[in-house]
Amino acid sequence: MTSNDAVQNPVIPDTMRAAVLRDTAKGLEVETLRTPRPKVGEVLIKVAACGLCHSDLHVIGGAIAFPLPAVLGHEVTGTIVEVGPGNERTGLAVGQNVAGGFLMPCGQCDACAEGHDELCGPFFELNRLKGVLYDGATRLATPEGESVAMYSMGGLAEYAVVPSTSVAVVPDAIDMVPAAILGCAAMTGYGAVRRGADLRFGETVAVVATGGVGTNIVQIARAFGASQVIAIDVSDDKLAPMAGYGATAVVNSATHNAREEVLKLTGGKGVDVAFEALGIPATWTTALDVLADGGRMVPIGLGAGVQTAGVEINRTVRRSQRILGSYGARTRQDLPAVVDLAARGVINYKDVVSQRFPLQDAGVGYEALRNRQIQGRAVVDMSL
């Protein structure tokens, strides 16, 4: 067999390793599962890397209910090793490197027909509630046949089935391991700036919480022409690299009054857009506190379970402020755009990834994330 034949006809093993969550008290444990196979409108990728995200952490800790056993991991890169039927017009082929977006639109529902991938009904009703794909079945199972739920594509595994609607081909120049963050951290940041805020050139911005998503919002907002980008966090270590991503100022809200500092920086006005990227009441309060009259607060972070945040009603009404929730992005349009920005160097995706873990240490990585020990983003690197 020639090397070209190997690319066109890769050997797909019967089984694979995956980090499986069976018990929230025990966390992730690596098991052997059957290698999944793609059905209509799907592809199978050999995973190169999978990012570690707070959304997974909420499921691992039991704060967000999800069927168990399950394989998590929802931002991946990999190489297509099998193309399912019904892909004749996608341009996808065995051997292509791709990034997988966490928000996997069905492409058929009313929201998808209107171009609102982020509101896809079957994604929330089937994948997020039941851990299955759009025929009502998971692609994952143990060797004995026990079903295993999928959180998005279940990327914490050596192989993953991904709907064709949620993959974008990446050029050879892309570094596949750190590029795993493109499908969630970067795409979510892009969606918040482009879709949620509809940011305009010259507007001023604050980004509250500078983890993986927040870091990407900083650099994407700057790329979209924000005149000021003020990064706000409670950690000096997380704020330290923000200038390199385009922040014009940083504020530690644990040691300084964020509202006072932002007002000083903006001539007493506050910012036109405040992004909230963690999903806790304290960061909601900070984002609203630094907002200008007529400004937009764009929350992106998901809370652990059912959380509420206070809003000062009179100020919001009298000052004509808006709160515009932003979940992910429009995958089919925005993921290719994010890949392009990364390929052209507009998004610095490589330095956002500060730590890499082997698959067997995925649980260790999530524990570090829980303890706020990850700067930017960490990934599971399947080559380790």
pLDDT tens profile 276-302: 999 899 999 999 999 999 999 999 987
pLDDT of 312 reads: 87
For the segment 215-257, what is each residue's pLDDT rounded down to a tens digit? 999 999 999 999 999 999 999 999 999 999 999 999 999 999 9
CA distances from 172 to 97, 101, 179 (A): 8, 19, 12
Q: In order of start, what are the domains of the chain with their CATH numbers?
A: 15-186+329-381 (3.90.180.10), 197-323 (3.40.50.720)
**Do 22 and 67 contact (CB within 8 A), yes or no?**
no
**Do 217 and 233 contact (CB within 8 A), yes or no?**
no
On whether the pTM is more than 0.75, the answer is yes
For the segment 151-193, what is each residue's pLDDT rounded down to a tens digit? 999 999 999 999 999 999 999 999 999 999 999 999 999 999 9
Work out the percent of the chain whose per-residue pLDDT is above 70: 98
281-289 vs 258-265: helix crossing angle, rounded to 10: 30
Confidence of residue 5 (pLDDT cuts 50, 70, 90): low
**Rounded average pLDDT over 51-76:** 93
Confidence of residue 6 (pLDDT cuts 50, 70, 90): low
- Residue 305 pLDDT > 60, yes or no? yes
pLDDT of 1 reads: 45
Separation CA 123–CA 286 (nearest Å) = 31
